[in-house]
Structure 1
Amino acid sequence: MQQPERGAGEVLGAFVADTDPGAIAPPLRHEAKRALLNFLGCALGVSRDPAVTTAIGVLRPFSGAATATLVGQAARLDAMGAAFVNTVAGNLLDYDDTHLATVIHPTAAVAGAALALAETRGLPGAALLHAFLLGAEVECRIGLAVSPGHYARGWHITSTCGVFGAAAACARLLGLDAAGCATALGIAASQSAGLVENLSYGAKNVGMGNAARNGLLAALFAEAGYTAAPTAIEGKLGWARAMGDVPRLPDMLDGLGERWEFARNTYKPYPSGIVFHALIDACLALRERLGAAVGGIESVTVRGDQLLLDRGDRVVRTARDSRVSIHHGAAVALLRGRAGVPEFEDGAVWDPAVAALRGRVRAVLDDAMPRGAVAVTVALANGRSETVRVEAARGSLEQPLSDAELEAKFRDNAALGGTTDAASAQIAAVWGLEEAGALGRLLGLMAGRA
């Protein structure tokens, strides 16, 4: 594809402004509901986490009129604050969705911003769903055009591209025309940030919250008449090149509205980085195969691609580290036979047996392994060894979680957040989003007000 006569932001802006809801097939609209159900459940599960309550405490003194719901909280904030906090909550445990081609978690920043704006402006569920879908697609398209180099250079792609998705969704909700939507994306380009180095620290949460808040802010400034360069994304001194990549414009712009990257979204069965899911599957299978002999493990060898090692060959010092650790994921799956939220909290991290087995796990680069695949070999003290190779993890495009599995995950998260009584009504409200009027009932349920 040749360089477009219009800037990338202009092409994407026209897509956001002009795409009619009727042009989107029902299965894709259903996928958007699945994503929102997953996001809201993840946010409910951490409603009592200090990272969430601290964020509320920091933002509350500076909040304007409290017009927007905080998931799992009685308190409310203004739209900017709610966008920030709900995005942090939805993404906190690395339990949210993933677009594997970019390793973007598409929903958190886009849904966090769109929900806050839609509630504040009294917009219906169908409008929210449509805007969310368009924003998530823009986010994934921009990320695809700069992957994998953008992430490899240290940019946290979920937050750096999440701001574009949030801006696009909010621009659509505000009813901006194509030029206005393009301007929102151009303004968002100047507000994109987030570092891989900070992924196991609280600074990651700030980057995620800002992606949502800054995307909303970009759309509001565009609505108010601020301007931005048409080539703010791909220009010689624009976002992509400033962050180190010449963007592949065909990946970003070709087939908009026909080929949907968001259709390739996936959902996690385990609260850890997605590149560790095949590892966990393999270790769970090995545990079942070994039975009682699992207590005699002498060593564990994990073979995977460079991305797996880059993300997970690390010393575990905190619970956050455990969610992006090859060694911990293998140890808890083998010893405990499960890999839910409790297996990545302090109780499991500092369990002496888990820590001891972590020390016997070795990660080995295998360039022949496709992204996401893994082979795990367990050697026992008696000389026996067993190997399991997993190419497509549970939750991947090849083995997607069903609606029933997503509902079960939602209920598990709701139980962690202490809100099990409302789970059935909450789930039903998400599935009925397109038929709902204003979002008051859904968000009231999510906050425990109904």
Structure 2
Amino acid sequence: MLAKQQTASSALGQFSSNARWEDYPDSVRHTAKRSLLNGVATALGSARDPVVETLARTLRCFAGADQAALIGRGERMDAPSTAFVNAVAINLLDFDDTHLPTVIHPTAPVMPTALALGEWRNLSGRQVLEAFVAGAEIECRIGLAVSPGHYARGAHITSTCGVFGAAAAAAKLLGLRADQVADALGIAASLSSGLVENLPTAAKNAGVGNAARNGILAAVLAEAGQAAAPTAIEGPLGWARAGGNELNMAALTGDLGVRWEFARNTFKPYPCGIVMHAVIDACLDLRATYDLRANDIAAVTVSGDALLLARGDRAVANARDARVSIHHCAGVALLFGAAGVREFSDAVVFDPDVVALRAKVKAERDNTMPVGAAKVTVALTNGQTVSATVVNARGSLERPLSDAEIEAKLRGLARDGSPHCDADRVIEAVWTLDEKAGLSRLTAALAG
């Protein structure tokens, strides 16, 4: 039992300080490697994207010593800048992992921080994984303690809670005491930011990068002796209430180290908003079952809960809009029988056939549908109507991607975004990261 006088920061600081790789359950260790594999995959896929190119070039203007490597680019920058760029690269394609209870993408803010610090401080892959797990668990716990109100008020939860996970991971790799980890978390509370309003723009990704970089800053400041208010997270004028939330301490600390939120992490089969996946699954099912073609379709109705409509009932002006559009996701799945990176590219978003089919799609709220589910009804030109309902989308906890599917995802993304990297070498390096010389093998593989 946690002592009553413990604050959120002290409880989490103690948990992180005491966490050991060998004590994690097998399921948690496996989740860590799957998450790393998926994160590396998405970073390789966007390594040469114009957004990543611009970030690397811009940060280079004032970056410090070359301390760590950019994934898939063969360049080196200071650790905070490296963590920033790699976090953006992981998050950019909307293809990263998701902790569904909070809709946090755990790996993007935390893993780049752990990799950059591990390389900078010449630490082991085992230590990197150990810190990654501790940070990701803290990130998810804090997110759970302020959900669902935090996101609903406009806070981009991957960024705002990701900074705590990044700070905890960095503090652990720096070897800080539990009280110093608590200070790092308190400092991180003042460095937390990110807006849902920015989701259709690169500003969203910048918030995720900032979470990774600010996590390192918070830990380094704590290492140097800077302190934070003990109740910086849950205090009457603290982080949670500044965002309009009452912190749920039971969700934050209940069975901490026994029940693992991070073990509930999931992995996307499609590079788009997680609530769109059931829409895509239903459309793919209908297309395959009834051999549908564009000229067969008169109208499409997508039914779902309030969250689906709030996130996805939008006009499409660019590729970013398409990734969170009910209309586009349904259109490409029905038209092409696919919803991969290509189907969310500018070339496809503005394809006249896609635009025409997208215009036939309408969204309707159905309060009987659970979160994450969707029903798609297609009115055919011959007067018939067909429909499909998906409650648990592919990639969810109920229908998880296999290790082999995540490996295949990495191969495809590396082929398109980082063809100079040997995908099989990267995959092997991820699975063996906790072995001797594991981090140096992974770093070399990612540099190509």
The two structures share one fold, judged by TM-score above 0.5 = yes
Residues 88 and 209 in structure 1, CA contact (< 8 A), matched pair in contact too: yes
Structure-1 residue corresponding to 2:378: 378
Moved more, 21-30 or 126-135: 21-30
Matched residues in 2 for 1:194 and 1:390: separation? 31
Deviations 1:247-275 (A, max 9, x none): 11100111010000001000000000000
1:444 CA displacement: 1.5
Structure-2 residue corresponding to 1:168: 168
Residues 2 and 11 in structure 2, CA contact (< 8 A), matched pair in contact too: no
Closer/same/farther in 2, CA of residues 70 and 241 from structure 1, 3 Å limit: same
**Equivalences, count:** 448
Instruction: Give ranges in structure 2 of 5+ residues lacking alignment.
Output: none
Map 1:283-298; keep pairs closer than 5 Å: 283-298=283-298
1:420 CA displacement: 6.3
Map 1:65-144; keep pairs closer than 5 Å: 65-144=65-144
Matched residues in 1 for 2:191 and 2:55: separation? 20
Structure-2 residue corresponding to 1:179: 179
1:2 CA displacement: 10
Deviations 1:192-247 (A, max 9, x none): 00000001111112111100000110000000000001100000000000011001
Q: Helix, strand or coil: the match of 1:375? A: strand
Moved more, 415-424 or 8-17: 415-424
In the alignment, structure 1 residue 393 sits paired with structure 2 residue 398: no
Q: Helix, strand or coil: the match of 1:439? A: helix
Matched residues in 1 for 2:293 and 2:116: separation? 52
Structure-2 residue corresponding to 1:14: 14
Map 1:252-331; keep pairs closer than 5 Å: 252-331=252-331
In the alignment, structure 1 residue 26 sits paired with structure 2 residue 26: yes
Residues 19 and 130 in structure 2, CA contact (< 8 A), matched pair in contact too: no
Matched residues in 1 for 2:405 and 2:248: separation? 36
Matched residues in 1 for 2:22 and 2:56: separation? 38
Residues 332 and 343 in structure 2, CA contact (< 8 A), matched pair in contact too: yes
1:117 CA displacement: 0.6
Map 1:423-438; keep pairs closer than 5 Å: 423-437=423-437
Structure-1 residue corresponding to 2:416: 416
Q: Helix, strand or coil: the match of 2:388? A: strand
Residues 429 and 438 in structure 2, CA contact (< 8 A), matched pair in contact too: no
Closer/same/farther in 2, CA of residues 114 and 352 from structure 1, 3 Å limit: same
Matched residues in 2 for 1:153 and 1:5: separation? 30
Matched residues in 2 for 1:416 and 1:328: separation? 22
Which residue identity lines up with residue 405 of structure 1 in the other structure?
E
Residues 293 and 335 in structure 2, CA contact (< 8 A), matched pair in contact too: no
Matched residues in 1 for 2:311 and 2:93: separation? 16
Residues 72 and 421 in structure 2, CA contact (< 8 A), matched pair in contact too: no
Q: TM-score, normalised by structure 2?
A: 0.98
Moved more, 40-49 or 15-24: 15-24
1:418 CA displacement: 3.5
Q: Helix, strand or coil: the match of 1:211? A: helix
Which residue identity lines up with residue 190 of structure 2 in the other structure?
S
Residues 286 and 292 in structure 2, CA contact (< 8 A), matched pair in contact too: no
Q: TM-score, normalised by structure 1?
A: 0.98
Residues 21 and 129 in structure 2, CA contact (< 8 A), matched pair in contact too: no
Map 1:145-224; keep pairs closer than 5 Å: 145-224=145-224
1:154 CA displacement: 0.4
Matched residues in 2 for 1:3 and 1:329: separation? 49
Q: Helix, strand or coil: the match of 1:301? A: strand
> Over the residues paired in the alignment, what is the CA RMSD in angstroms?
1.2
Which residue identity lines up with residue 428 of structure 2 in the other structure?
A
Percent identical pairs in the alignment equals: 59
1:419 CA displacement: 2.1
Residues 47 and 89 in structure 2, CA contact (< 8 A), matched pair in contact too: yes
